[in-house]
Amino acid sequence: MTTPTEYQTIEHGGHPAFVLVPWDDWRRIKPLLDAEKARDNGIPQDVVEAHVLRGESVVKAWREHLGLTQTELADRMGVSQAAVVKYERSDARLRASTVKKIAVALGLTDEQLDV
């Protein structure tokens, strides 16, 4: 049986201002928040630089930007880590269905992976 996590809310002026969460929870939800922020803002500069200047695949650039390991992405996609290695090759030719699956796992749109 798991114990529910208790979060501490800090109020300012009678309204919630901050929430303190355990570190493990933060590490789990931060990539989701980053993905949401990225979705709202297009493609971050560091993703573009990794892809254009360093020749990394867009998949790898996004994964690293979101702070995920290959294993974490594989788990989200329901594939092996070896499959993610193949998807991240700079010369990989991914099917549209695979791009969609990666986008969903990263919390992105298909267009954000089509650079």
Instruction: Please check whether residue 7 lies inside any domain of the structure.
Output: no
Residue-wise pLDDT for 26-80, tens only, equals: 877 777 776 666 666 678 888 888 988 899 999 999 999 999 999 999 999 999 9
Burial 29-63 (b: 16+ CB within 10 A, else e): eebeebbeebeeeebbeebeebbeeeebbbbbbbb
**Could you tell me if 99 and 109 are in contact, meaning their C-beta atoms sit under 8 angstroms apart?**
no
Q: How far is Cα 4 from Cα 58, in angstroms, rounded to an integer?
A: 37
Instruction: Please check whether residue 52 lies inside any domain of the structure.
Output: yes
pTM, two decimal places: 0.66
CATH classification at residue 74:
1.10.260.40
Instruction: Please check whether residue 36 lies inside any domain of the structure.
Output: yes
- Domain residue limits at 99: 30-113
Instruction: Please check whether residue 18 lies inside any domain of the structure.
Output: no
Instruction: Please check whether residue 22 lies inside any domain of the structure.
Output: no
